[in-house]
Amino acid sequence: MTSNTLPLTAKSGPGAMRWLWLIAAVAVLAYVPTVLTERAIFGIPLSNMQLLNLGLTQVNLMLIAMLGAMSLNYLTGCAGLISIGHAAFYAVGAMTAAITGSQWGWPFPLVLLSAGLAGAVAGVLAGLPSLRVRGLYFVLSTFAVHYIVVFLFLEYQFKFFDVVGVPYKAATLGAFELSTPTRWYFFLLPLVALIYLALRNTLRSREGRAMMAMRDHELATTSVGVDVRILRLKAFSFSSAIAAMAGALYAYYLTNVTSEAFNISFAIQFIAMIIIGGMGSLPGSLIGAALWLLLPSVITGFASQASDSTGLVRSILVDHKAQLVQLIFGMLVILLLIFAPGGIAGMGRQLRNRLAAWRGQS
């Protein structure tokens, strides 16, 4: 009897621990808005520096950026299709949201759905050059798509809203209005989790494995009967739909955007996110987006503390704060490309493997 129950206990132990960790993580994430709005934890006041100068607005923008980073990592890291036109799909989503939401008055859920559909169509059109060209030529085609879409957004903005930018109505879910950062947080957090699970399940499917095989060896994938042309277009469509939805959310959250918001720097930041977090890693996308969006706020907090200081510290943290942020990110990208091409997520995997090997030896 004992010999039959021991394996069951051994098997159920790790599963139970995973559920406990999951419950703990959900509890912590649910408590985050209370901490950041009340600036206290369990009634104990916290200083701005103890909270790393973070607010709920930065966290919400981080969650939206996570959607963009995951969609680009799905396209570039998992499908092997390098694109520098990701801001274009954000712009497609923002423009679609302006037409359907601000002008036509559609409800917010339908606006998001229409933005995703418009992004999917734009993704298929942007992916068509991948059927004929490769490498640098394809990268340049996505570069061209970026400028075409931004030009269309600019023309749309000037025709209907002039230079003041495109205004967006308040996002509502039935009678529930997303009027505060806390409400936005509890809407965006489950959405990011659902998109993450959808992408993860897609990658674990037969078609997802074929897509990653296409990334690693296209000729071998074709030789086993996989139509890589259809896979490329599907990858572009799925990735662009998520990016367009993120663009609509970004526009609604800011309440007003201009075409300048979707410049080439906006597109490059997503490439940096997936390099920092880890190419081909969905958790890496989350890590890269969090680091990219939150680190500047942390540095700003240190700069405010150093505002009364003099000498080199003030020169670096206060007078050259923007240059310091760019230097940190630039050095981080270079060091990761040289010493850890798998990004922070790859470093985490290596560390777990070494700990597992050490435990096995001991």
Residues in the chain: 362
The CATH 1.10.3470 portion of the chain extends over 58-361
Longest dimension (CA), the chain: 79
* Mean pLDDT, rounded, for 293-317: 75
Asked if residue 101 has pLDDT above 70, the reply is yes
CA 182 – CA 301 distance, rounded (Å): 22
The reported pTM is: 0.91
Q: How high does pLDDT run on average in the chain? A: 89
Contact between 92 and 99 (Cβ < 8 Å): no
Q: What is the dihedral of CA 158, 161, 164, 168, to 10 degrees?
A: -130
Q: Which residue has the tokens 């990011």?
A: 192
List, for residues 239-289, the tens digit of each pLDDT value. Answer: 999 999 999 999 999 999 999 999 999 999 999 999 999 999 999 999 999
Asked if residue 36 has pLDDT above 80, the reply is yes
CA 270 – CA 276 distance, rounded (Å): 10
**Residue partners of 96: CB distance under 8 A and separation at least 6:** 111, 114, 115, 118, 119, 244, 248
> What's the fold here for domain 58-361?
ABC transporter involved in vitamin B12 uptake, BtuC (1.10.3470)
Residue 316 per-residue DSSP state: I
CA 147 – CA 155 distance, rounded (Å): 12
List, for residues 49-72, the tens digit of each pLDDT value. Answer: 889 889 999 999 999 999 999 999
Measured from the Cβ of residue 260, the count of other Cβ atoms closer than 10 Å reads 12
CA 163 – CA 292 distance, rounded (Å): 29
| pLDDT on residue 288 | 95
